Chain A
Amino acid sequence: MIYWQLFYTFFKIGLFGFGGGLAILSLIQMEVEQYGWMTQQEFVDIVAVSQVTPGPIGINCATYVGYTIGGFWGSVLTTSAIVLPSLIIMLSVCKAYFWLNNRFSGNPYFEQTLRMLRFTVIGLIASAALMLMKPTTFIDLISWIIFGAVAFFTILPQVYKNKVTETLSHPILLIVLSGIAGYMIYA
């Protein structure tokens, strides 16, 4: 039963996961919370681990959630389930590639739907961040200082672009520095 739930959930996430890894996070979060598979804190920890390990964030999350809930076979199942819709859809796209290219570029229905989905995806990612802004994640003032500093260094290269700001905006560097800060402050 739990295996069927895992498969069905991650198949759905793969099928509706428009806009790549970050947008998929809000889908995973909602499902995982609804089933009570893990706490919000555990979910944030998984996202943190996913961001500092190689590979697509969606695969990392699927594997981790699958292992936590259903052991080794759980992780095999969730990872396959999130890939399966892509296989079905992208293979159809490949088979119809030339037909699609002539038919869909410039088609107002297709182009406008994609354009509107981009704005929905922005909302999805915003909701993922908002749902994580809870006392379990933000325990004190220092949490907000870390949040502010990381947001500042991530946005900085867009305002003031040079080699130094680009290097400082690297997500892995920022996570490692936050981890060191956490160790020094809380341990």
Chain B
Amino acid sequence: MVRDVAFGQYFPGKSLIHRLDPRAKILMFIAYIVIIFCTFNFAALGVTVAFTALYLILSRISPKFYFKSLKIIIFIVIFTSLLNLFYGTGDPLWQWGIFKITLNGISRAVFVSVRIICLILASSCLTFTTSPNELTDAIERLMKPLKVIHFPVHEIAMMMSLALRFVPTLLEETDKIMQAQKARGADMESGNLFKRVKALVPILIPLFVSAFRRAYDVATAMECRCYRGGAGRTRMKQIHLSKRDVVAFITLALVIGGVIVCNIFVTSVL
């Protein structure tokens, strides 16, 4: 079913990670991406893996869901690590025609897959623990300085939260329409590619129609409540930086320091 996708879902909770300021979480996530691509040896990678593990444990979300989120990217991981495996330099450990595997290739492959996995786990951790509303709020606040150059920050944030709000609704709708067309004998499981694409028409058209209908409804409802864009709006939930966030930033700083030290002082395998 379409609803089985774990990636990007939010699981309400009260863990330490859940209660962090969403702005802090986004900033830390960006820093984290930078760090993960600036690890040049296994020691530095180890530090970031440990940091990731710490966060996952603190988020108190069942590991099952993290595994589920990895499921979707497993092919990307396999594909990139295979590519890297055969592109190593140095003495070949095994060779067949133009294909050769070297120690360097193996370590590269491991490196790349660990990086991708960490990245997905961290972003899952972010979306699992932060509600879509918090996320868009935080993005709006973080992008506020862009208003100076007349970038429509509030409007974009509103669009994002509306889009996120309607993802589950549209999924449910897709499910319903699929059921209804299947009941009329629509066949979506067999046939060649062309046939299968054609079989999507009876689902996509009603879905588009209903998406437009809903968009009109929402627009009317917003007008009825006198929505006039961002100027002068106050928030129901104010977000504040707290001690927790400071502690989180300090840990992150320590990790950055650790990665730099490892990069410089540990002799590289690569």
| A and B interact physically | no
Residues of B within 8 A of A (CB): none
Q: A residues bordering B, Cβ < 8 Å?
A: none
